[in-house]
Structure 1
């Protein structure tokens, strides 16, 4: 248990603290753990680790194959209230407005929650481009660039769990519905550091996205530009928009790392 907690403090719920320690046991290079490994990394008994892991599994926050345990994408719900709060993204609005003014395309930030992405910031262009997206809008993560670039940051087991349990719907003739192909595209997006989704959700929309990362280089959100497919197909346009988007993401990353608490994972 965290050293700063005193077990004799009546205000401290020890079992809750131990549950958080179990969740924190999973991390970089430790996405799949045995019961003994969880107990050792959490500094609790095997019996306590077993009860807490079974509780997390029953609630959908963890999964197991009988030998190993791993966290599911639902664990992201625990940080969703923080990530979706307007306050922490307020510093991003100025950067987004500058980008929109420069490139004349709409810009959004979204976070990943369970199977969806959730829009937390949006700066539309003044051009008459039909869109029903607003702050608070939710979309399936796999069918938009804002979602794919964040799915690419998940541990392999979590991505497989997502693809195994998600219903893949064909929205347009361009929607990727084969799960193996979708996985390949997501992994390729992660390798190159950006994602483009062209006409898969709406035939009149193309989006490019890059991740927003905390000081531990974990993707906690993504930022994108949306445009008509015809513009994205013009020579040099996509490269230009991607470069400007990456510059804006870097500025937001810099500001985020100076404002987030030191303990942020």
Structure 2
């Protein structure tokens, strides 16, 4: 994963009836922000007007407001805009407001020091996972993931251990499409393949990968649960594929990872055997 990975805003929700008291101007302003993506850093006002089906005069006023508020920045060419630091500050404020981040940071740093590998904490947002904590090693092979980076949940082990907690109905809602985007030969091609893989992860209690999302990178991940028994986050250890011995992975890395995830879950008041609302116990 290259340094400087751009963070994109979440995709707009599926089309549905708008609430009675929705504010159209605010909605349109947020739609403008959502138009910027990891692979689309700069956009002009005419392009936004066409795409969002908003009059150019309205787009101009909205852009001026967003620029004034520090969420957009005009480029040197004078005709295009990009996201500004105001968006990033909102993201960091959100991350800082999560209880799990305060509790997890010292545990992840300890896990990094014990294993000598980079460690991350991620949460799910729809079909993506967002990295909210990074404990990076100083070794030559170190994670280049940035806090706020958004990656596809089905294409990463961090995402898989969170998705494994969802019911079939919940998974159907997250992935309504027939085929899933592929990132490597190992990526599940469709929802049935994903469900089969998640079943294995669920039974194992953690997930493993070798060049699953990015060639040369291996990872193990474990779920973090809260007092309800649901998985709210995941922790992983990343290391160079083919370098760490299999016995070391299973005996040392997985053991330390699962212990850390369990400790963090305990701090969030999770107790094994918690009964979920549908009556299904979690162990």
TM-score normalized by the length of structure 2: 0.59
Contact 2:136 2:143 in 1 (8 A): no
Residues 239 and 165 (structure 1), Cα distance of their counterparts in 2 relative to 1, 3 Å cut: farther
Alignment of 1:15-30 (within 5 A): none
SS at match of 1:58: coil
The answer to whether the Cα contact below 8 Å between 2:154 and 2:187 also exists between their aligned partners in 1 is no
- Counterpart in the other structure of 1:165: 177
Does 1:141 find its partner at 2:178?
A: no
Matched, 1:85 2:43: no
Q: Could you say if the C-alpha distance between residues 211 and 190 of structure 1 is closer, same or farther in structure 2, counting changes exceeding 3 Å?
A: same
Alignment partner, residue 251 of structure 1: 263
In the alignment, structure 1 residue 95 sits paired with structure 2 residue 107: yes
Aligned to 2:125: 113
Q: Distance in 1 between matches of 2:163 and 2:139?
A: 30
Rate the CA distance shift 1:129–1:81 in 2: closer, same or farther, 3 A. Answer: closer
Q: Is the 8 A contact 2:112 2:119 kept in 1?
A: yes
Q: Which residue of 2 aligns with 1:226?
A: 238
Equivalent residues of 1:198, 1:229 under 8 A apart: yes
5+ residue gaps in structure 2? 1-13, 19-90, 271-276, 278-283
Partner SS for 1:121: strand
Q: Are positions 1:153 and 2:172 aligned together?
A: no
Q: Show CA shifts across 1:122-164 (max 9, x none).
A: 1011112254311100000001111001111112101123333
For the aligned residue pairs, the C-alpha RMSD in angstroms reads: 2.8
> 1:93–1:187: structure 2 CA closer, same or farther, 3 Å change rule?
same
Name segments (4+ residues, structure 1) moved above 4 Å: 80-83
Q: Tell me: CA distance 1:133–1:86, structure 2 relative to 1, closer, same or farther (3 Å).
A: farther
Alignment CA distance shift 1:154-1:223 (3 Å): same
Count of residue pairs the alignment pairs up: 185
Shift of 1:209: 0.9
Hey, what's the Cα distance between the residues in 2 that align with 1:165 and 1:219? 24
Matched residue, 1:199: 211
Higher helix residue share: 1
Could you report, residue by residue, the CA deviation over 1:174-198 in whole angstroms, capped at 9, with x for unpaired residues? 3332442222001221122111122
Please state whether the residue corresponding to 1:231 is helix, strand or coil: coil
SS at match of 1:119: strand
Q: Deviation string for 1:206-265 (max 9, x for gaps)?
A: 11111110112110111111111113453342332110011111221122229xxxxxx9
Q: State the distance in 1 between where 2:189 and 2:136 align.
A: 29
What is the aligned counterpart of 1:58 among 9, 16, 31?
A: 16
Task: Label 1:59 to 1:185 Cα distance change in 2 as closer, same or farther (>3 A).
Answer: farther
**Range moving further from structure 2, 149-158 or 127-136:** 127-136
Give the distance between the partners of 1:115 and 1:100, measured in 2 at CA: 27
**Structure 2 match to 1:34:** none
- Report the CA distance between 1:81 and its aligned residue: 9.9
Distance apart, 1:83 and its partner CA = 7.7
SS of aligned partner of 1:257:
coil
Q: Which is further off, 174-183 or 244-253?
A: 174-183
102-111 vs 86-95, which moves further: 86-95
